[in-house]
Structures are given as structure tokens and as C-alpha cells.
A and B are shown apart, each in its own frame.
Chain A
Amino acid sequence: MSASLTHRKQLDIAKIRNDFEILSENANGRPLVYLDNAATSQKPRQVLEAVDAFYLHANANVHRGVHFLSQKATTKYDAAREKIQTLLGARGPEEIILTKGCTEGINLVATCMSSPNSPLGSSERRQPYLGVGDEILLSNMEHHSNIVPWQLAATRVGATVKVIPITDSGEIDLDAYRALLKSGKVKVVGIVHVSNSLGTVNPVREMARLAHEAGAIVIVDGAQGGPHLRVNVQDLDADFYTLSCHKLYAPTGVGVLYGKKQLLEGFPPYHGGGDMVRTVSFEETTFAPLPAKFEAGTPNVAGVIGLGAAIDYLASLGAGETLAARLDSAFEKIHARERELTEYAMGRMAEIPGLRLTGTAPGKAGIISFVLESVHPHDIGTILDGEGIAIRAGHHCCMPLMARLGVPATARASLAFYNTTEEIDALVQGVYKVKDMFDREAAPAARR
């Protein structure tokens, strides 16, 4: 293969790693091996520079001032929203609601679905979308952020949360899902696109189709879907899709809620405040059109501009005439790279005696959870940390999933495209060190 062809089809990892300066840091005296990307990704220099440039040269509040800087800030802010629209394949920018995180997006939907949309200043009472006896289906692998908001909503209106079971390999039990939909009472289906604990890529398009046939609305938690997949909300036919942007190479404090225009328009507002209103009086208040209706108060302007820069950065890894085409081509490369790393890691980890992988769905994303016989994940985490290797140990905010798997916690290595096979080798070596440490006294103890 010629060099130029390689360049066109593959990511230039050495160049990319230069963009992520933090990857050259040391941790506990060893070269950092960052394998906690599902918790948060690192940020490329280009994103940090965009945030810096905003504060240095364009800082002002948005959608308010007539002055030069405010217009400059507003232009940058609105441009970022259009980039997000392209990233997700939404029909228009009004379907992109900027939030402070994925969690807030889900809370917005759950709260609005369980609150009456009565006009302010009128005696008319309208019923919430969710009511007594309605059912909310959530999969057994949901993150707490796609469980608790629905429990709160269910309590508010007298609805019931039901669980879509999963198989031992960590996949949705589609037959059980179909059966649950037959109750005729299901109004909402909440499903994680890519499981943050298992790496499973769920059949969201098929699940949405089935949900719609049953008359239910589908909300997809895309916290891990966004970084790993080329998402198109129209193709998935998701009614709502949420992103956690600090997992998508952007700064913390920014999330995205995509929602179908018609549904968002039917919702009551979530937060009240500045920017989300058309007119305010003590007698009657009317609301701004989308997306402002759901964006009360000054938003995280710098963070959103950073997100715009993160999308541009991802696009720069691809080629094409338009942003959409560059993102298509970039995600093709990212996906190929992450597949290669994931398969390598799964293969190497599976060779370690006494190690059990949790989550072995075919085609899974680069999230590798595991448990070791007789070593608690926290001890694995601490010992790997001593080797400069960052992983996550715990329940990953998925306590119901841990209960289903029959473990209190797992250790989780999560990959990004900038990781290398050498880093995976370091992880494997680190796990052997954990085993050595815990086994070193096992033999004499067994003799006692």
C-alpha cells in the first residue's frame, strides 16, 4: 500500500497524539496510559485554543447585546449549533437544545413528559403526556441518568417503570422487549445507544421502529454513542437523542438534547428564566420558539464554542467537500481504528487466566469491562494506577446492571481512537502485575 493511500484511509495516530498534549504526561512516574475515555475523553489543542480565543477576543453574552462583541459571540455560538445539527443529522437547528450535560437532557424530557403543559395565566388545565398506569420501558443496562429521571417522572404521575431484560452476553433480549410492548400501555422507551459498562451497541433503529408501532416515544442515551458512532437521528428515527460533549473531545459542562420539533413544541418549558420567553407580565407569560424555549439563562457559551471546535477537529480527520462528508469519512476511520484496538484488546484480555470479560456482544464498542477472580476492581484500579494506567473501577453508575451480572463492580478500560496497541499491552502487563501481587501469598496460605 502506498503511503498516500494509507494516509487517506487511516488515521495518522502519531500526529493525532501530538494534538492531545496530555497523552504525553507521566502518572505516578510512568508514562500515562489513558484508558478511561468513557468517563471523559481528552481534549485536542484545537478545542482548547478555540475556548481561549473566545475568551481573549470575543467574550460577551449571547442573544442580548447590540454591540460588536455580543454579535461576534452570538455568531460563533449559533454556528456551533449548526455543526451539532450536522453531526447528528437533525432536520434543523431548532431541534438541537444545548444543555449542561447528557443527564440534563434526559431530565428535561422526563420532567416535561410528566408535567402539565397548561398555558400560563389561564385556568385551562392540560394533562401531562404521561399518566396513571402508563409504562416506561428501560433496559437493564441503562446508566442511572436514564433510570432515576424516569422514576421521578413515574412517581409524579403514577406511571410504572418496567425493565427490558438483557442476555448474558450483554445484549437486549428483543423477544422480551416485543412482549413488553404488547401491554398497550407503553408510552416511553429509554435505551442507551452504546452501553457505558458493556460496550454493547444496541439495535436502536429496530427498537425505535417497534416502539413507534406500539405508539411509544423513544429516547436514546447517546453519551457513548456520540464518540464511537456516526449517528444520524433521522435514520435511527429516535424521538430524542442526548450527547455528553466532554466525552466527545469537548469541554465539560455541555450536553446536547436532540428532539423532534413537533414533540419539543408540545412540551411545557423546563426551566424558566431569561431568553426562553417572548413576553413576560405578572398576568401572562409566553414562551420563545425553539430552541430558546428550553435554554433559560446564559448558556455555557465558551463550552459550546469548544464543542463546535471539537466537531471541526473530528471532521479534519476525514476528507470531503462538506462538514457532513468530512464527518462521514472521519467516523469511518475512527470506527475502523477503534474496531482494530477493541479486537486486539478483547483477544489479549481473554488470554489472561482468571479474567472474565463482562460484555461480549458482537461488534461492541471499545469499552472493555472485566473482573478478576478474588481481586476486587478497586484494587485492580489502584495497582494499575501505580503503573500509570488510568481505568475506571466501580459500578459505572449502573447498579441494576451490576446486580444482573452478579458482581458488585467491574474494572473498565475504555478506548478512544488515539489509544495504541502498546497501551493495551501495558494494560495486559499491568493486570498480570495485579495477579502477581494478589497471588504472591496464595500458595503459603493454601498450605496452612
Chain B
Amino acid sequence: MNSDLRELYQEVILDHNRSPRNRKRLDQPTSQAEGHNPLCGDNVTVYLHSDGGMVTDVAFEGNGCAISTASASLMTEAVKGKSLAEAESLFREFQKMVTTPGEDASHPELGDLEVLAGVRDYPVRIKCATLPWHTLHAAISGVNEKVSTE
């Protein structure tokens, strides 16, 4: 097997794809948003519960590839318990990591999210990784419209 692909499909990613964390509907979210990738038809709904500027709970539902499912799963783990401002900052950092080609800088602030760094070498798959984050961003901004990667 191609070693670059092993880099992309790391065990953590495969694990989150197989057993996604927080894949459920939240009963009474403070906000939610839908994200859609028209290229592949994948969709994700992010449910957010916040209180006093803190992410008290976050979950997602949807159909997608291993990259988008793992990204959504890892995202929910990363932002739960953080402030909304910290979640937004993680979104920016994450986006920077996956869209900066050839960047090898380490991202300690991203923690487990760093396993998705390999996506930057697969331009057509970057949107798979960022879709859940764009959708979270929309939920935080209170925009209840559909988000599109296009």
C-alpha cells in the first residue's frame, strides 16, 4: 500500500469513521446548521448547545466519506467544553492546516485534529474535512441556512 495513503487514512481517522463520536441528534440545540457538498452530495447537520458562551454539547448527523465523518467526529470532541470563541479559533487553525500545501509545522493547539493534516496533499478531499467545520461555524453564527462548500 502506498505510504502517502497510510498517512491520509491514519488509524485514528479510520477509528473515528468506524465509530463516530457524538453522531446523534441533540434534542434541544440552541442552534443547528446543515452543510452540503454539492460535488459529492455529502451532507452533515451540526447541532450545537451553548450556554454562557460555552459549548455545552455538540453533535452531528449525516452521510459522508471517512474523511468527513472522522473530521466531524474529531471536531465534536475538540470543541465540547470550549468557549465559542475558542471553537471559532480552532476552525481557523484547522482550515489553515489543511489548506496550506506542504506545510509541515506542527499544530499542538489542534491536538488530535492534527491527524487530518494529510488531507492538504489531496486537494479534492480538503472540502470533505472542512465541511463539518464550516457547518459548525454557521451554527455558532446562528445562521440556520444551508452551508455549501462551493
| Chain A residues with a Cβ under 8 A of chain B | 28, 374-379, 382-383, 386-387, 393-395, 399, 402, 408-409, 433, 436-438, 440-442, 445
Contacts and interface: CB of A to CB of B under 8 A. Distances in A.
Please name the 9 residue pairs, one residue from A and one from B, whose CB atoms are nearest each other, closest first: A376-B65, A378-B65, A386-B2, A395-B41, A386-B5, A408-B63, A379-B66, A394-B40, A379-B65
A409 B5 CA distance: 21
B44 to A, nearest CB: 12
Nearest to A402: B41
A374 B6 CA distance: 18
Given A408-B40, A409-B42, A440-B14, 15 more contacts: A28-B2, A374-B18, A376-B66, A382-B5, A383-B9, A386-B4, A394-B39, A394-B41, A395-B41, A409-B41, A437-B5, A440-B11, A441-B15, A441-B18, A445-B15
9 contacts: A28-B2, A376-B69, A378-B40, A382-B8, A382-B125, A383-B2, A402-B41, A409-B41, A437-B1
Nearest to B64: A376
A378 B5 contact: no
A437 B9 contact: yes
Contacts of A438: 9, 14, 66
Interface string B54-93: 0000000001111101000000000000000000000000
A379 B129 CA distance: 12
Interface in B100-142: 122, 125, 128
A441 B66 CA distance: 14
A441 B19 CA distance: 12
By CB atoms of chain A within 10 A, which of B40, B63, B128 has the most?
A: B40
A408 B2 contact: no
Contacts of B15: 441, 445
Contacts of B63: 408
A442 B69 CA distance: 16
By CB atoms of chain B within 10 A, which of A393, A408, A433 has the most?
A: A408
A259 to B, nearest CB: 31
A433 B6 CA distance: 11
Contact of A442 (B18, B40, B41, B122): B18
A356 B64 CA distance: 18
Contact of B125 (A378, A402, A433, A445): A378
Contacts of A374: 18
Contacts of A409: 40-42
A389 to B, nearest CB: 12
Nearest to A383: B5
Interface of B: 1-2, 4-6, 8-9, 11, 14-15, 18-19, 39-42, 63-67, 69, 122, 125, 128
A197 B19 CA distance: 30
Nearest to A386: B2
B19 to A, nearest CB: 7
Contacts of A440: 11, 14
Nearest to B128: A378
A378 B69 CA distance: 12
Contact of A433 (B1, B8, B39): B1
Contacts of A445: 15, 18-19
A147 B60 CA distance: 32
A393 B41 contact: no
B14 to A, nearest CB: 5
Contacts of B40: 378, 393-395, 408-409
Nearest to A445: B18
By CB atoms of chain A within 10 A, which of B2, B6, B122 has the most?
A: B2
A394 B63 CA distance: 12
B98 to A, nearest CB: 15
A379 B128 CA distance: 11
B60 to A, nearest CB: 15
A56 B100 CA distance: 42
A446 to B, nearest CB: 9
B41 A408 contact: yes
Given A395-B40, A441-B11, A379 B67 contact: yes
A441 B14 contact: yes
A32 B11 CA distance: 28
A356 B63 CA distance: 18
A441 B18 CA distance: 9
A409 B65 CA distance: 10
B39 A379 contact: no
Nearest to B63: A408
A293 B98 CA distance: 51
A398 B81 CA distance: 41
B129 to A, nearest CB: 12
B93 to A, nearest CB: 24
B120 to A, nearest CB: 14
A176 to B, nearest CB: 26
Contacts of A386: 1-2, 4-5
Nearest to A375: B66
Contacts of B67: 378-379
B100 to A, nearest CB: 20
A440 B8 CA distance: 14
A380 to B, nearest CB: 9
A436 B18 CA distance: 14
A433 B5 CA distance: 11
